[in-house]
């Protein structure tokens, strides 16, 4: 089923959506961490893959969180600013975590499979330099929001031994691009969201691909369709008034995880959009959840 024009118009706002409202960074947050910018964690196609590292100014807890920085599958530095405004780095560093804000590249340059490999490369880098960062590589958390949540989910459910994490927490992630809010996106149409998915999955075009081949390729980047019993515990946080990523996307992911008997929690924010003004409260909940999952 192809999404009607009104749904496509709403989905297209993914292009402009951010994780945080336009609120200033709290001074208390900035005092809780030291930030190292533009550390190279890998290279792809002649392009350096970058991350910022946030380390606590207070007592460290010896644990790390990889934060996948992407909005609408773009990972410019503005997305790091959005996570700052949402209190991600301040809240986690106040709990003693080191946070690795990895930027997996943008859809203007890379497809989803390449971005997934970049996330994996970031996780390998953090684990491989765990002694330098003074963290436990076997108790690593993974998080993301919106497109970053999509990539975090996908990396977690398809992980090998070298990229496995202990827990995953995400905000409003797209998880099933074959059933998006009860609608099927048409990647061959001229719609904006269909075009985004086409660029994510078929950067070389759709020529000579059957309908089944198209569906199979899209399914490969749908976290909800890649879940196995090997997935780590998950926390998903989603607003029930999200006009961009339907709540159904988190519900679908939760159903797949629970079917595989993976420990899973879903927090639904009443009236929450994409995002919502008080999202810092839910970031604190996320931090406490990581404390429970990674603390032992």
Domain that holds residue 251: 5-294
State how many domains the chain has: 1
Mean pLDDT of all residues in 176-203 = 84
**Band of residue 296 on the pLDDT scale cut at 50, 70, 90:** low
CATH number (domain holding residue 179): 3.40.50.1820
Give the residue ranges of DSSP H helices in the chain: 5-11, 27-30, 77-85, 88-94, 112-128, 130-133, 147-157, 192-201, 211-219, 247-259, 279-294
Cα 223 to the chain's mean position, in Å?
11
Q: Which pTM value belongs to this model?
A: 0.92
Average pLDDT score over the chain: 91
Q: Which residues contact 212 (CB under 8 A, 6 or more apart)?
A: none
Residue 30, pLDDT score:
77
User: How is residue 68 annotated by DSSP?
Assistant: E
State yes or no: pLDDT of 197 exceeds 50. Answer: yes
Dump pLDDT digits (tens) for 48-82: 999 999 999 999 999 999 999 999 999 999 999 99
Cα–Cα distances (Å) from 60 to 87, 135, 226, 237, in that order, read 18, 9, 35, 26
Phi, psi of 284, rounded to the nearest 5 degrees: -65, -40
Residue 181, pLDDT score:
87
Angle at 221 between CA 256 and CA 3, to 5 degrees: 85
**Band of residue 12 on the pLDDT scale cut at 50, 70, 90:** very low
Mean pLDDT of all residues in 163-189 = 91
Q: For the chain, what is the total number of helices (H) and then of strands (E)?
A: 11, 8
Dump pLDDT digits (tens) for 99-122: 999 999 999 999 999 999 999 999
């Amino acid at each position: 089923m192809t999404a009607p024009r009104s749904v496509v118009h709403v989905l297209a706002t993914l292009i402009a959506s951010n994780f945080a409202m336009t609120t200033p960074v709290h001074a208390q947050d900035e005092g809780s961490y030291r930030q190292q910018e533009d550390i190279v964690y890998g290279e792809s196609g002649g392009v350096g893959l970058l991350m910022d590292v946030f380390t606590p100014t207070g007592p460290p807890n010896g644990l790390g969180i990889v934060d996948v920085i992407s909005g609408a599958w773009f990972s410019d530095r503005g997305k790091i600013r959005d996570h700052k405004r949402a209190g991600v780095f301040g809240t986690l560093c106040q709990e003693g975590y080191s946070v690795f804000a990895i930027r997996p590249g943008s859809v203007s340059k890379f497809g989803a499979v390449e971005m997934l490999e970049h996330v994996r490369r970031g996780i390998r880098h953090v684990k491989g330099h765990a002694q330098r960062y003074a963290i436990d590589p076997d108790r690593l958390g993974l998080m993301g929001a919106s497109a970053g949540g999509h990539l975090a989910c996908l990396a977690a459910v398809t992980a090998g031994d070298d990229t496995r994490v202990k827990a995953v927490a995400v905000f409003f992630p797209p998880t099933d691009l074959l059933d998006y809010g009860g609608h099927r996106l048409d990647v061959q149409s001229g719609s904006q969201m269909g075009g985004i998915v086409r660029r994510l999955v078929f950067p070389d075009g759709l020529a000579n691909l059957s309908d089944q081949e198209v569906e199979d390729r899209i399914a490969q980047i749908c976290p909800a369709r890649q879940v196995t019993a090997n997935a780590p515990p998950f926390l998903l946080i989603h607003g029930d008034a999200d006009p961009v990523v339907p709540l159904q996307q988190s519900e679908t992911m939760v159903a797949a995880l629970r079917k595989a008997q993976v420990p899973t929690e879903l927090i639904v924010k009443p009236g929450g959009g994409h995002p919502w003004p008080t999202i810092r409260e839910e970031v604190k909940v996320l931090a406490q959840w990581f404390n429970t999952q990674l603390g032992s």
